Structure 1
């Protein structure tokens, strides 16, 4: 990937980590230009947001602040990591689950 592709896709890549709505907006915006860098981060952001929502539903069933705070901190770190990788122009997968997202959403952005 060249620097021009990365610079053009940075905004969409960062937007993709801002809630599920941001991921959908970035996906729609990327349909016109098909930026490879943005597509990588859209897959990561969409996977992270959907995992957060699905696991958050089940974590919410526990009546424990300790479990909830651990969940929020863990996902907060993963979201922050994704935004930093997008802002610095790197295509590094999110630890533990990033490879799964790339395989599961492999048809998005291509």
Structure 2
């Protein structure tokens, strides 16, 4: 799997696993960067959904917040995919800086 394909798939939720395992032997700095950003986005999305689901169970009148965060996550996915397509290593807005050095198991395998 090419580096760019790994980078694009890394932002598509469960397809992150496909990008991680299928491209393991062909990983470079570019794909590793986007795999970290994509995993960070997926984990952040899960945590937001979990927290907002609990809040909505307590106070259903705040359902609009759930819709707002859902739209924000979708926009971050699109931004990440556009960065991957354009060969740009730029962190995602709001959360990307935090995940720059996280997930040490995602490493560069390919030596150029």
- TM-score tier after normalising by the smaller chain length: 0.7 to 0.9
> Does the Cα contact within 8 Å between 1:31 and 1:109 map onto a contact in 2?
no
Q: Which residue of 2 aligns with 1:4?
A: none
Distance (whole Å) between structure 1 residues aligned to residue 64 and residue 27 of structure 2? 42
Q: Which residue of 2 aligns with 1:47?
A: 40
Query: Which contiguous aligned blocks of 4+ residues in structure 1 show a shift greater than 3 angstroms?
Result: none
1:79 aligns with 77
Where do 1:5-84 residues align within 5 Å?
8-19=2-13, 21-61=14-54, 62=56, 63=60, 64-84=62-82
Q: Secondary structure at the match of 1:60?
A: helix
Distance in structure 2 (CA, Å) of the matches to 1:60 and 1:38: 32
Secondary structure, aligned partner of 2:50:
helix
TM-score by structure 1 length? 0.84
CA distance in 2, matches of 1:28, 1:102: 20
With the length of structure 2 as denominator, give the TM-score of the two structures.
0.83
Q: Cα offset for 1:23?
A: 1.3
Deviations 1:15-34 (A, max 9, x none): 11111x21121111232112
Cα distance in 1 for partners of 2:87, 2:104 equals 20
- When the two chains are superposed, the root-mean-square deviation of aligned CA atoms in Å is 1.3
Structure 2: unaligned runs, 5 residues or longer: none
Distance change (3 Å), C-alpha of 1:106 and 1:95: farther
Name the one with the larger helix percent.
Answer: 1
Shift of 1:107: 4.0
Shift of 1:106: 3.9
